[in-house]
Amino acid sequence: MRYDIDAQRVTHERLNEEVLIINVVSGAYYSGSGSFADLWSLLAQGASTEDAAAHLSETFGESAETILPGIRDSIGHLLAKGLIREAPDREAPDGWSLPDLPRAEWQAPSFAEYTDMWDLIQLDPIHEVGEAGWPFAPPEHRT
Amino acid sequence: MTAPAAFLAAIGAQADALAAGPCFRHDFGIGSAGIRVTIAARDAGQVIEALPETATDAPDWQLTAWDGNEPGRLPPPRPWGDTAHEPLGIVTAFSDETQRCAYDLHTQSLIVADLAGRRACTWYPQIATLPAWAKASPFRIPLSWALADRGLQMVHGAAVSWGGGAALLCGDGGSGKSTTALAAALAGFGYVGDDYCAVDSAALRVHMVYRTAKVLPSTLRLLPALGRWIVNPDRMAEEKGVIFLKPGQLDLVASAPLRCLILPSVADDGVAGLVRATPAEAIHALLPSTVGGLMGGTAGTPSHILRLARRLPVYRLRLAPDLARVVALLRDAIGEGP
């Protein structure tokens, strides 16, 4: 299975070892680095799970069998968050491109999620904001 | 014609008809973006006073606004459900790469943009009765789209300049970025903005978007000189005090090279200080309120914010009651930038 990114819902950018992803519909955003940034880059280029495992195995000098479970987990999380979607008709590209960076030892891909925006956006700018003003809630509204 | 295209055409035709009548017009530039605002309303309040006065030879984005609930002024019935704009404001079923539809629940305004035609329309129930904070930062959403078309990113942050360089102050609520920016401006720094600014992350420049300031009671206690300029002092128990800045009050700067990102925070020990911070801290200080305040941002938002955080030195500025010391530290940070 290959995947794609719905440009109307998700914006993303990779800079060196870091990737930043925003779900512009929910307002949640995600950041990750290392193997996650590489996995994201490959998925964005049209890699299947197996393609990503093969290329990352070569890149990180680790067996595909070792890294495949972490890749599957990460892809599952990305699907669940709506950041990628299945694209069964997408064709494989001619090759894969990752930035030429020093790589640390393989660690399963992981990313941080930040989801505090929607609660803030709903605040009434006059009556429910704190000293800082909109879009920041007074302390009693924070969870 | 698809439903989204039909709605865009209907709104555009209504805007054309209203713009042919009596209107307030204002042309201005923000960086490389040239913008013409046309307001078809009996009373535009101080909305135009909030916008930059920077001249532009060729406005290539049209922002048209009107108000009213009577026939001819009420927009076409919205062909979407009551909650279609949730959560961030964008009506996704009527938005794609060529057009955007949005509803701003805070001003109850409808925003429809023809991105390919470089035009946006905004309908308000009544412009003259918008709260002062809304008049002080008008057209925030369509302006952010127009600026994105010119490679600029609107960001939630304050900016001040000194010696030909500028600092962008970004941070959590209550961190003190507005107070710091206004203290610096009163001490002779150039004032670019205290709430929303536009950045060019390729050229590393920051541009003024609004020539206004928003003042909390706590800021006013520290900087009482601002009190004479506040237009809504009777409302400060409920909302921020607002200043529509005039030349001569502060040194208004339309554009300046960015030298650093500043993350203000109140010093627990009461001692002002300046320490280096990480790009990750800058991203997390700048991104949530920028994305949240701009209905998710645009396709270029992640790129702009990553580039700013990676290319500029980031400092945490510890704020203390000695504002003169805080301002001196800010001057040091700008001086040490790239």
Per-residue HEC secondary structure of chain A comes to CCEECCCCCEEEEEECCEEEEEECCCCCEEEEECHHHHHHHHHHHCCCHHHHHHHHHHHHCCCHHHHHHHHHHHHHHHHHCCCCEECCCCCCCCCCCCCCCCCCCCCCCCCEEECCHHHHHCCCCCCCCCCCCCCCCCHHHCC
Tell me the chain B residues in contact with residue A122 when contact means C-beta distances shorter than 8 Å: 87, 105
Report the residue from A23, A24, A132 with minimal CB separation from B174: A132
Q: What are A5-54's pLDDT values in tens digits? A: 998 889 999 988 889 999 888 878 899 999 999 999 999 999 999 999 99
Mean pLDDT of B166-189: 90
Q: What are B278-326's pLDDT values in tens digits? A: 998 898 889 888 888 888 888 889 989 989 998 999 999 999 989 999 9
Q: Which helix (H) or strand (E) holds B119?
A: strand B119-124
Q: What are B78-123's pLDDT values in tens digits? A: 899 888 888 788 998 999 889 999 999 889 999 999 999 999 999 9
The residue of chain A with its CA nearest to that of B304 is A13
β-pairing verdict for B24-30 and B190-193: unpaired
Q: What are B184-213's pLDDT values in tens digits? A: 999 999 999 998 999 999 999 999 999 999
Q: What are A88-112's pLDDT values in tens digits? A: 999 989 899 999 999 999 999 999 9
Distance from C-alpha of B66 to C-alpha of A1, rounded to nearest angstrom: 49
Tell me if A135 and B292 make a contact (CB, 8 A cut-off): yes
Tell me if B291 and A117 make a contact (CB, 8 A cut-off): yes
Tell me if A15 and B106 make a contact (CB, 8 A cut-off): no
Whether the CB-CB separation of B191 and B334 falls below 8 Å is answered with no
Q: What are A47-75's pLDDT values in tens digits? A: 999 999 999 999 999 999 999 999 999 99
Amino acid present at A102: P
Q: What are B232-257's pLDDT values in tens digits? A: 999 888 888 999 999 889 999 999 99
Tell me if B292 and A117 make a contact (CB, 8 A cut-off): yes
Q: How far is CA B112 from CA B18, B35, B95, B139, in A?
A: 15, 16, 9, 12
pLDDT computed for residue B117 by the predictor? 96
Check whether A79 has a pLDDT greater than 80: yes
Check whether B169 has a pLDDT greater than 90: yes
Whether the CB-CB separation of A35 and A73 falls below 8 Å is answered with no
Please provide residue B48's backbone torsions phi and psi, each rounded to the nearest 5 degrees: -70, -30
Whether the CB-CB separation of B192 and B180 falls below 8 Å is answered with no
User: B41: which DSSP letter?
Assistant: S
Report the residue from A120, A122, A131 with minimal CB separation from B218: A131
Token digits for A43? 């998925």
Distance from C-alpha of A121 to C-alpha of B140, rounded to nearest angstrom: 14
pLDDT computed for residue B240 by the predictor? 87
Check whether B337 has a pLDDT greater than 90: no
Report the residue from A25, A120, A131 with minimal CB separation from B92: A25
Residue with tokens 């994305």: B291
Angle, vertex CA B30, rays to CA B150 and CA A124, nearest 5: 95
Domain ranges for chain B: 3-150, 154-335
Domain at B154-335: CATH code: 3.40.50
pLDDT computed for residue A143 by the predictor? 33
Domain ranges for chain A: 3-110, 116-143
Check whether B231 has a pLDDT greater than 70: yes
Distance from C-alpha of B37 to C-alpha of B18, rounded to nearest angstrom: 13
Q: Is B247 helix (H, G, I), strand (E, B) or coil?
A: strand
Token digits for B91? 């009506």
